[in-house]
């Protein structure tokens, strides 16, 4: 599942190519039309002639802000890719993958395609995100905004929750944008076991978690963007320290990395240096 770093890297890559451009056409793959949370004809008829004025990442969503000519009637295309969603921006003559859900044609003969090999993505075309996107008002602060809130505010927010640390980091009401993969990486960076409960943390451990979150997220965005083979439609997490590395050697202490759960949603950690 794309999480904050993948979506932020995608935003950085796509925004200069999309913002300011007018949508000239929109089509939906009829075999995937059930994934749209609104009538297909609205998508096909209402997006053309709109200008993309902004592209932002919010939690695990990518949000395309659009306006009609003259700056009126703002609407937002909100996409939560879930487990199998990917994006592709190509020339109009590029072959269309079978996993295509929809295509937006942009002036300049570009196409933005949303692909989904699991048919789990959630796609919304709305005039008010708070009212029309489920769970939107409950989203917590962006996970990469932790440094701006400061340690004491972070502590107060942290202490409102009672979850195990792994579940806490994945709770979008606590912080938005972290999922299964980056919760593993953050807890490894902070040297904290994922199954510990929040109430067991000492002040120094709270501070370690506070410091680890922005370090891991920033490092991940940089690693993704530095990949010379970056492809919007693929997800490469080979740079990760422990996630999906069960049975391999811990890069910090040499202990074997543990894995709990299935390969679909594994929990990975090091019993040697996470306490």
Fold of 143-270: Helicase, Ruva Protein; domain 3 (1.10.8)
For residue 100, the model assigns a pLDDT of: 97
Is the pTM value of this prediction over 0.85? yes
Note down pLDDT in tens along the chain; length 275 residues.
899 999 999 999 999 999 999 999 999 999 999 999 888 888 889 999 999 999 999 999 999 999 998 777 999 999 999 989 999 999 999 999 999 999 999 998 899 999 999 999 999 999 999 999 999 999 999 999 999 999 999 999 999 999 999 999 999 999 999 999 999 999 999 999 999 999 999 999 999 999 999 999 999 999 999 999 999 889 999 999 999 999 999 999 999 999 999 877 899 999 999 99
Class of domain 4-138: alpha beta
Q: Are strands 72-80 and 122-126 parallel, antiparallel or unpaired?
A: antiparallel
Nearest Cα neighbor of 49 from 73, 28, 32 is 73
* 8-state DSSP, 123: E
For residue 42, the model assigns a pLDDT of: 86
| Inter-residue long-range contacts of 66-75, CB under 8 Å, 24+ positions, other chains counted | 66/23, 74/127, 75/46, 75/50, 75/125, 75/126, 75/127
Cα–chain-centroid distance for residue 43? 23
CB 36 within 8 A of CB 43: yes
Start-end of CATH 1.10.8.50 domains in the chain: 143-270
Start-end of CATH 3.20.190.10 domains in the chain: 4-138
Residue count of the chain, please give it.
275
Nearest Cα neighbor of 59 from 170, 218, 221 is 170
């Amino acid at each position: 599942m794309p999480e904050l770093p993948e979506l932020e890297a995608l935003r950085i890559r796509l925004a200069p190519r999309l913002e300011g451009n007018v949508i000239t056409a929109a089509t939906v793959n009829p075999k995937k039309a059930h994934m749209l949370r609104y009538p297909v004809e609205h998508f096909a008829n209402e997006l053309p002639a709109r200008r993309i004025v902004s592209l932002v990442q919010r939690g695990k969503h990518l949000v395309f802000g659009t306006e009609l000519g003259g700056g009126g009637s703002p609407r937002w295309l909100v996409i939560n890719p879930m487990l199998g969603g990917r994006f592709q921006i190509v020339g109009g003559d590029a072959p269309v993958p079978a996993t295509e859900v929809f295509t937006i044609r942009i002036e300049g003969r570009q196409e933005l395609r949303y692909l989904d090999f699991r048919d789990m993505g959630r796609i919304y075309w709305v005039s008010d995100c708070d009212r029309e996107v489920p769970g939107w008002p409950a989203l917590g602060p962006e996970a990469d905004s932790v440094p701006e809130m400061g340690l004491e505010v972070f502590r107060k927010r942290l202490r409102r929750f009672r979850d195990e640390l792994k579940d806490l980091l994945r709770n979008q009401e606590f912080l938005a944008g972290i999922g299964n993969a980056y919760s593993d990486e953050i807890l490894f960076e902070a040297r904290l076991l994922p199954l510990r409960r929040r109430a067991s943390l000492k002040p120094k451990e709270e501070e370690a978690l506070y410091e680890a979150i922005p370090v891991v997220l920033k490092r991940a965005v940089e690693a993704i963007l530095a990949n010379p083979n970056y492809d919007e439609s693929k997800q490469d997490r080979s740079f990760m320290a422990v996630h999906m590395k069960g049975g391999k050697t811990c890069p910090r202490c040499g202990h074997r990395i543990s894995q709990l759960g299935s390969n679909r949603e594994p929990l990975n950690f090091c019993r040697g240096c996470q306490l």
